[in-house]
Chains A and B, each alone.
Chain A
Amino acid sequence: MASINPANTSQSLVLRGDKPSPAGELICDHCGKKYSGQINESLKNYCCNGCQALDQAQLPSATTQFEFWDERAPQNEVAIYVEGVHCAACVTVLEQIPEKLPEDVVSSILDFSHAILKIRLAPNAKLSRVAHYIVQLGYRPHLLSEASERFAYRSAENRKLLIELGIAGALSGNIMLMSIPLYSGASGSFEKMFEWICFALATPSLFYSGRSFLKNTWHAFKNKSFSIDAPIALALLVAYFYSLYSLIQNTHELYFDSLSGLIFLLLSSRYLLLRIRQSSTLNLSSFFIDPKPFLGRVGDSVALQNGQSLAFDGVVRKGFVFVDTSKFTGESEPVQLNVGDSIFAGTEIIESSPDHIVEVLQVHPHTRIMKLFQKAEEFMHKKSNTSIFSDKLAKWLLVFISCLGFVLLAGMYLRGEFTEGLNRFLALLIVTCPCALALATPLVFVMASRKMLEQGIMVKDPQGLDAAMNINKVCFDKTGTLTYGKLELTRTDANLSENQWGILLGLCLKSRHPVSRAVVRYIQTQYPSIEGALIQDFQEIAGKGLRGFHNEKEFRFEQNRFYYVHSNQSEFTLCRFEFADKIRQGVRPLISELQSQGLKTFVLTGDTLENAQKVLAGVPGLKILAKLSPEEKANHVLDALMVGDGINDSLSLSKAKVSIAVQGGMEAAVQSSQIFLTQGGVEKIPLILSFAKKVKRALTLNFMISTAYNLLGATLAITGILNPLIAAIMMPLSALSVFSFTYFYFNYQKSAPALEEKA
């Protein structure tokens, strides 16, 4: 990025010279799109905030990262989740990929609301080239495996529901039309014809469009449980067969119109809810991100390349290996592994002794990392199965109402008023349909998710919010969560000339060690004009440091010390550095905020106590639990809110009562957490808690509304004031009242303004 920026700046300066008017046509420095607007006072111009954010964000280094994308089984269509899609210009640049890479891509189509790019590949295409290009555009691509199939499945499901809904609507409209002559007094053969037409139209309405109600009820019944659709299904069936019976008996008691109208209204509310849900939450867990394939077999002895990300579990048999386990353990310091030490998939090789040999013990999918994934998945599954209180309540209410209905029907039958009894029975079943109650809970979560998404909080599993209402313990991961997760140069006594900086940069640019990368970052931000000097005979000595010659002089960077060596072997120190992971901004106020709410705060880390204390010095009240394995971490968080990132956290995130992943973490953390912060940092956590309280209040109020509604409806139905048709109109009205209440509650109430300002 650093090398691209100056060019962009000069471009916009030229533009400013061309067009002196304050408002004119500008070129966005990020996406290259022309737009009109005010010239920015700063040097760069962007067409929208999204482009600005993306341009200024740090992008992943795109050197070797995507090569494994090419190792996939050949496919002609792939789906890529493109992180950072935000405006119309994104659609343009991403869909222009086929023109820019004609050898690789035949067509690319973006699904904007899900940020998923579907790419059709040319034969012999290189997917890594496509990935690089997407990175250059300023997005982060994530390859979705099997995604095309899953995606197709999802849209097929949407289409099916839409078709059912459309047909139900058409049928119900036509039945209403055909019922008009019946209500207005058609007689004789006309009456018979219209009645039979109504029957003919109502049949597909019930058995095609409404079959999901019947199916759900039947499946639940077979499993000896009670579906929320049961009274609906019961009412529909009773109404249908009673109408058919009276059609044959010529008693003109037809309910075909209310039956089909009910189906249409129910399906529309269901479809709407599905659409809202799909558009406001991105369900990453429905996709699985590809593991890197490994072609070796168990028992093979292999040599590793520097920079390689390991794809198998193994053990070091000879020599030693330096690895970066940050993806696995979340800790940033490189670790030296000697003969007999285990090495796990997911670690990155930094350096290794030339004679090293590693034996393969486990390959995908039996690696430790995949086991962590699987465990996380299992717990996710368990969690989503726990039904919430309102669901249970709705079920009991259903059983009660159905019993009441039958008692009513029997009583009326004994009194000889069967028709009136049936009317009241149907009205009761329809009006007390707990769909308002059943709708309320998901609706509140959907609205809350939407509001939170605007704040950069993505709620993947709403039950996390539910559980966040009653916790008293908050656990944090250290690296990457409370800290930035990478080594930073913290102190230096450097007083170097430009030439010497250049030599140091030249040395460090050749190495992938985290310390070298930290030095490179430091020099590039502090002295952007300096370029790496030419280094000859470069050596990277594992466990020691870097050596190289510049103008016949030997320079070394070892043990955080930069020095050169005279011909008589005496050393001359140029400068020293200190490195540390830096604590994130906002951690201190966050911890005191949480403690003022009466929450206990813990830090869980795999690092040593000493290191953790050094980094977290000055944060009072934070209890540090050090040297924990992922499994031990998981045991600490069973009753807590866990904030973490990194694969080592995925197990504890999935086991925690509430789990929040901060950005920068691996996809695994995203998959196992319930709540995900799209902007790095932990400042938003009090906001999440205040949202949880708000959700709780909304749930209670909604519950009260729908209960009152049902009680009133039931009374009216039993006393016979309500007939089934009016009940069918009242029923969706209750859902509507819950809907509008929830909408206004989340949109027009000032919520905890103090918290929002802090966040």
Chain B
Amino acid sequence: MSIVWLLVPLALLLGLGFVALFIWNAKSGQYDDLETPALRILSEPETKGSNQHE
């Protein structure tokens, strides 16, 4: 059972990693506009480079 002493902190660390990832996602604005990107993908780009995010 002493493996629990290792596994529990590992599990928490893993969780922390995902939380960090989520914070980065949110801070870089990926959840700001959930509607436009879905429409943006519908149009064929005539030339590339116009629709890039900031």
Contact = CB atoms under 8 A, between A and B. Distances in A.
Interface size class of A (residues with CB under 8 A): 20 to 34
Contact of B40 (A91, A107, A113, A197): A91
A95 B40 CA distance: 9
Interface in A235-274: none
Given A112-B36, A163-B23, A107 B52 contact: yes
Interface residues of B, number: 30
A155 B29 contact: yes
A234 interface: no
A162 B39 contact: no
Interface in B1-54: 1, 4-5, 8, 11-12, 15, 18-19, 22-23, 26-27, 29, 31-33, 35-36, 39-40, 42-43, 46-47, 50-54
Contacts of A158: 31-32
B54 A109 contact: yes
Given A159-B31, A162-B26, A92 B19 contact: no
A173 B19 CA distance: 12
Contacts of A170: 15, 18-19, 22
A159 B36 contact: no
A99 B50 contact: yes
Given A88-B42, A170-B15, A113 B23 contact: no
A607 B50 CA distance: 51
Given A95-B51, A96-B50, A112 B39 contact: yes
B53 to A, nearest CB: 7
A167 B33 contact: no
Contacts of B51: 95
A27 to B, nearest CB: 14
A668 B46 CA distance: 39
A190 B4 CA distance: 9
A174 interface: yes
Contacts of B19: 166-167, 170
Contacts of A95: 40, 50-51
B35 A112 contact: yes
A89 interface: yes
Nearest to B40: A91
Contact of B8 (A33, A99, A193): A193
Given A88-B39, A88-B42, A92-B43, A159 B33 contact: no
Most chain-A CB neighbours within 10 Å: which of B18, B32, B54? B32
Nearest to A167: B19
Contact of B33 (A87, A113, A120): A113
- Closest 3 pairs (CB-CB, A-B): A92-B43, A112-B36, A88-B39
17 contacts: A88-B42, A91-B40, A91-B43, A95-B40, A95-B51, A96-B46, A109-B53, A111-B36, A112-B35, A155-B32, A158-B31, A162-B31, A163-B22, A167-B23, A170-B18, A190-B1, A197-B8
